[in-house]
Amino acid sequence: MVKHIVSWKFKPELSEEKRAQVAEEFAGRLQAVKEAAWGVLDVKVISPPLSTSTVDVVLDSTFESVEALAAYQVHPDHVAAGAACVKPYMTDRTCCDYEV
């Protein structure tokens, strides 16, 4: 199995209401990708995390294999979720992938 953990910060000018709306849409879109792409075992979008966190949104996902993660990253629904929910609203992406 492969873990894929990504985090972002929201652009500072976004209201709390808009942040919640974007996070909810992002979570819904990624759940749909989970159903459409092969090899996706679990997808969780965490927002807002605890106040001790230094990020605003976390994607915690699990894949069957490195190949499944690679297929997910180019899946059209995943690309569309990034274009609609990440690029316009989020900054400072960090990513950690590792095998379990």
The Cα 13–Cα 81 span in angstroms is 21
Average pLDDT taken over every residue of the chain: 96
Q: How confident is the model at residue 50 (pLDDT cuts 50, 70, 90)?
A: very high
- Give me the pLDDT at residue 73, please: 95
**pLDDT tens-place string over residues 72-95:** 999 999 999 999 999 999 999 999
Amino acid 24: pLDDT: 96
Asked if 33 and 72 touch (Cβ cutoff 8 Å), the reply is yes
pTM: 0.93
Tell me the mean pLDDT in the region 7-23: 97
Per the CB < 8 A criterion, the answer to whether 25 and 65 are in contact is: no
